[in-house]
Amino acid sequence: MKGKLTSSFAVTRPLKPVGDFLRRVLRRSNQRRADALPTAAPAPKRPDNGSDTERRLNFMLESVPVNLWSTDARLNITFSQGAGLNLIGTSGSDQVGMTLYEVLKSRDPGFTPLAAHLRALQGELVRYEVDWRGRSFETRVEPIRSADGHISGTVGIAIDITDRKTLYDALQKQNVYFASLFESAPEAIAILDEHDRIMRINGQFGALFGYTEDDAVGKDINALIVPEELAEEGVSLCTKVAAGEGIRAESLRRHKDGHSFWVSISATRFSAGDEPGKVYAMYQDISARKRAEDDLRALLMVDELTGLPNRRAFITLSEQRLKLAVRMERDVLMIFIDVDHLKYINDTWGHLAGDRALIDTARVLTESCREADIIARLGGDEFVALMIVDSDQTAELVCERIKARVDAHNLETPRGHPLSLSVGATRTKSEGTMLADLLAQADTALYEQKRGRGRPQALSR
């Protein structure tokens, strides 16, 4: 048996109503012994005003796991009753007439249950918890006083709290597990109240966003980590969660030092009992993944050999450039370029020479056009350029500039085969123009040149 005294203080009155009940029980026991002796005349029977209380207490003692006992001043047990005795494999009749020393099997004054009774005999009320025969009890012992205030014994009550303690221990273990999982989780976690204020964060949240718990607790989550330009988005997400919707999103969030980075967000609402709903929000840094996606996207949009945008990128960029030209009320110029005799170069000089011809073409076009112009390799030997032009930038002028740059290249970089390009161009109003129509018109102009009309062809309308 082990126990621990948790509190004690002097008392001047016995435990109520247990003390009154015990006194009545003891009086009635004495009365029964007196009734067994011969008397001159029977005493008139007095009404028992405490019978209802006794019935209620008797019912309690027989139906709930409670032990109730009393001792005299020598710690002889004078009364013992309660359904709790059955849980430890004994009964009140087994204990009445024994001393407390015999029941406890100890005379050690430091032994918690014995110490509690000795202190009760000194006038104190003592509370303690004790484990006895595999059960746990919450116990209270206090003195019994006679009418003149003299301490005549003790009275005690023990409530079996084994199930409650087991449940409490289980909850404590769950709390420990939760705290361990909460702190060791690889995601940044914040628990929010019903007003989107932070109640708790884990260590990873501090590592990810740069805030200590003192910095974060009590702050509005949106004011703390949502960039100003995304404030409306942050409020919208919180509103959805408050309505019971679980969310998963990817967005930018702000570090304490001010820089923003990509995170995945997962949030759900939960509640305990009648408490207002809380929010469990998790954040994970996905900046590396976003960079990888951007790199992959860039690779998918770039011609690996020349470094120019590929067909996919050209279509995307050109659609945007056409919209810009409409707003600026400017014309657009589409140029189609074809590398002449590429198959012959590959067959005669090798594919490495053919690759050099394609790379040279990309360089010539880049040097012939402005930085704002879109130049792309559509595939094979075909290149294209789209320009927003002023009134003095005619298709013929741009085509001549490309031809001059090709001639200069052949002089500056002599190879076994000269670089030769066929060029077709079309200039048109941007308003109402479709990209596919521009490509078709430029391709027609290129085809006309390839049929041998002698100089770069340009179409205008």
**Residue 64, C-beta contacts closer than 8 angstroms, at least 6 positions apart:** 83, 84
Residues forming a β-bridge with 99: 76
Q: What pLDDT does residue 36 have?
A: 47
Q: What pLDDT does residue 200 have?
A: 93
Q: What pLDDT does residue 181 have?
A: 83
At residue 59, what is the residue type? Answer: F
CA atoms within 13 A on the CB side of 314: 26
Q: What pLDDT does residue 83 have?
A: 65
The H or E element containing residue 151 is: strand 151-160
Three-class SS of residue 310?
coil
**Residue 359, C-beta contacts closer than 8 angstroms, at least 6 positions apart:** 305, 306
Q: What pLDDT does residue 300 have?
A: 81
Q: What is the mean pLDDT of each run of 10 residues along the chain (461 residues)?
A: 49 46 52 48 52 62 73 90 64 78 89 92 91 84 90 89 83 82 89 94 95 95 95 93 92 96 94 81 94 81 91 88 88 90 92 94 93 91 90 80 92 87 86 79 76 47 34
Angle at alpha carbon of residue 358, lines to 413 and 335, rounded to 5° = 105
Sheet arrangement for strand 77-81: 2-10, 124-132, 135-145, 151-160, 66-72, 77-81
Count of all residues that appear for the chain in the document: 461
Q: What pLDDT does residue 164 have?
A: 83
Q: What pLDDT does residue 21 have?
A: 53
Q: What pLDDT does residue 205 have?
A: 95
3-state secondary structure 392-433: CCCHHHHHHHHHHHHHHHHHHCCCCCCCCEEEEEEEEECCCC
If we measure between CA atoms, which residue out of 376, 375, 343 comes closest to residue 357?
343
Q: What pLDDT does residue 90 have?
A: 66
> CB 96: neighbour CB atoms within 10 A?
15
CA 318 to chain centre: 42
Q: What pLDDT does residue 150 have?
A: 92
- Residue 344, judged by CB atoms within 10 A of its CB (0-12, 13-18, 19+), counts as exposed
Q: What pLDDT does residue 413 have?
A: 86
- pTM attached to this predicted model: 0.50
What is the C-alpha separation between 129 and 306, in angstroms, rounded? 83
First to last CA, the chain: 106
Q: What pLDDT does residue 13 have?
A: 42
429-433 contacts: CB < 8 A, separation 24 or more? 429/331, 429/332, 430/322, 430/325, 430/326, 430/329, 430/330, 430/331, 430/332, 430/388, 431/326, 431/329, 433/322, 433/332
